[in-house]
């Protein structure tokens, strides 16, 4: 018999059995739509109906006028930046706590990413730091709605108006999120969503640009559809562009995913509140404060702080290994973008002229206290754990089990410290 209080990491019984991937989810709906699309023999957007319908329905769901589907969020950000007129010598402000693509999209349009620190509670852009970095070369802000918590769009809009800056929202984590009752995605020129495999709705890959502006929409269509208008004509290429289209198969899957999204959003909202309550008294854990102006949090990640002094000083990476062994899916958040080799070692250099490189930030020597501290201490639980109580109810128990075990078994700590 395995001892129940022995950590699963050391061969004890895990609190939850890991029985294969829990995400994505699908039903007969996806299956039937895929087969229907297959038989239709119309598999590409320009002659199809699935992606067009998804564009309409997704933009309606986000109270936005226009939606243009694109192959993924990374290309969506690049296209949105180009449509906003961003290019050489332009400085673009973005939080240092994000996925690679937020910054790389800026590099890919030959503009200069300027990182800002994040607010330690929301992990969204820190408004004071943002303001301090605005200068005459600044052209746009990319707020990232981190983990589904909207950025402070009231303050960002004020700054954008004052300094005549464009806003391109990175909504990759934020389907259904809202700030003061306004859904994210159309506060500025455009908002970009991702439907990559881990996202809140998915077709494996995929993206969407939302906007309320017709001219911006039309530019995005040209840029993503080989320089053609939406009224498809075979060889009428009247603009620069690329091919960033999704397939009708992805449209079919995403329409099905959207049909259950509202319910999932509500379930996650309820369960995130319940889990917060269950974790409120736990030693060694600090819950993040959600801004009261967030009227809908999409809960792409459920995040909290790990206080290592309650766990024999073990670094976050070791704690995550112990938690994972108990069957709780978890990970760190992103390393600060300036620490990635591509920025730290300026591996993007061939893309730029020497005079451009000279005025770029010294990424390697920059420091962002809140982002660094958060990377070393914040635990992220994926959104799908909030869909069923049987998945998340063990989380507090698993944390307590680890904390008590470490207190009662000091002889094990030395070997745990050696783990990478
Ligand atoms: C914050 C953020 N921005 C942009 C992207 C890029 O989206 P995609 O993977 O669809 O290219 C992602 C993730 O994948 C992301 O998490």
Average per-residue pLDDT for the chain: 96
Candidate from 113, 168, 172, 192 with most ligand 1 atoms within 8 A of CB, to mutate: 172
Which helix (H) or strand (E) segment is 301 a member of?
A: strand 301-306
Tokens of 134: 């605005």
CB proximity list for 34: less than 8 A, separation 6 or greater: 249, 252, 253
So what's the pLDDT on residue 207?
98
pLDDT digits over 400-414, tens only?
999 999 999 999 999
So what's the pLDDT on residue 19?
82
Please state, as a whole number, how many other Cβ atoms lie within 10 Å of the Cβ of residue 243: 10
Q: How far apart are the first and last CA of the chain?
A: 30
196 lines ligand 1 (CB under 6 A): yes
Sign for the CA dihedral angle at 394, 396, 402, 407 comes to: negative
| % of the chain exceeding 90 in pLDDT | 95
So what's the pLDDT on residue 4?
61
72 lines ligand 1 (CB under 6 A): yes
pLDDT digits over 113-159, tens only?
999 999 999 999 999 999 999 999 999 999 999 999 999 999 999 99
Residue 1 has pLDDT above 60, yes or no: no
Ligand 1 atom nearest to 76, measured from its CA: 11
Dist CA 199 CA 201 (whole Å): 5
So what's the pLDDT on residue 407?
95
Ligand 1 atom nearest to 198, measured from its CA: 14
In the chain, domain spans: 28-260
Does 213 participate in catalysis according to the annotation? Answer: no
Q: Which residues pair with 193 in a beta bridge?
A: 208
So what's the pLDDT on residue 3?
58
Ligand 1 atom nearest to 196, measured from its CA: 10
So what's the pLDDT on residue 225?
96
Mean pLDDT (whole number) for 168-189: 98
So what's the pLDDT on residue 322?
98
> Which class would CATH give 28-260?
alpha beta
So what's the pLDDT on residue 232?
72
pLDDT digits over 244-274, tens only?
999 999 999 999 999 999 999 999 999 999 9
Query: What does pTM read for this prediction?
Result: 0.98
pLDDT digits over 28-62, tens only?
999 999 999 999 999 999 999 999 999 999 999 99
So what's the pLDDT on residue 204?
98
């Amino acid at each position: 018999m395995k001892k129940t209080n022995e950590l699963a990491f050391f061969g004890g019984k895990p609190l939850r059995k890991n029985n294969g991937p829990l995400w994505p989810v699908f039903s007969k709906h996806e299956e039937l739509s895929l087969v229907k699309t297959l038989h239709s023999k119309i598999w590409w957007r320009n002659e199809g109906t699935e992606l067009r319908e998804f564009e309409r329905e997704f933009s309606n769901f986000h109270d936005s006028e226009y939606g243009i589907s694109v192959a993924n969020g990374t290309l969506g950000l690049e296209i949105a930046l180009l449509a906003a007129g961003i290019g050489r010598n332009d400085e673009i402000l973005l939080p240092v706590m994000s996925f690679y693509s937020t910054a790389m999209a800026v590099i890919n349009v030959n503009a200069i990413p300027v990182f800002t620190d994040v607010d330690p509670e929301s992990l969204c852009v820190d408004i004071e730091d943002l303001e301090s970095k605005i200068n005459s070369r600044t052209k746009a802000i990319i707020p990232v709605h981190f983990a589904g918590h909207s950025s402070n769009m009231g303050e960002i809009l004020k700054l954008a108006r004052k300094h005549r800056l464009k806003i391109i929202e990175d909504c990759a984590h934020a389907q259904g999120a809202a700030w003061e009752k306004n859904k994210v995605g159309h506060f500025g020129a455009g908002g970009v969503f991702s439907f990559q495999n881990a996202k809140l709705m998915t077709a494996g890959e995929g993206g969407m640009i939302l906007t309320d502006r017709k001219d911006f929409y039309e530019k995005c269509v040209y840029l993503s559809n080989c320089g053609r208008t939406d009224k498809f004509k075979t060889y009428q290429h009247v603009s620069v562009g690329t091919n960033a289209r999704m397939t009708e198969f992805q449209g079919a899957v995403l329409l099905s995913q959207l049909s259950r999204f509202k319910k999932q959003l509500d379930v996650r909202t309820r369960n995130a509140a319940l889990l917060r309550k269950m974790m409120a008294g736990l030693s060694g854990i600090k819950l993040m404060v959600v801004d009261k102006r967030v009227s809908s949090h999409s809960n792409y990640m459920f995040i909290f702080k790990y206080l290592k002094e309650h766990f024999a000083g073990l670094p976050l990476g070791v704690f995550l290994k112990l938690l994972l062994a108990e069957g709780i899916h978890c990970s760190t958040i992103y390393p600060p973008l300036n620490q990635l080799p591509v920025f730290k070692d300026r591996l993007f250099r061939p893309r730029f002229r020497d005079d451009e490189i000279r005025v770029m930030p010294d990424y390697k020597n920059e420091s962002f206290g809140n982002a660094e501290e958060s990377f070393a201490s914040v635990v992220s639980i994926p959104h799908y754990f909030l869909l069923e109580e049987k998945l998340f109810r063990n989380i507090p128990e698993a944390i307590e089990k680890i904390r008590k075990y470490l207190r009662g078994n000091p002889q094990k700590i030395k070997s745990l410290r050696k783990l990478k």
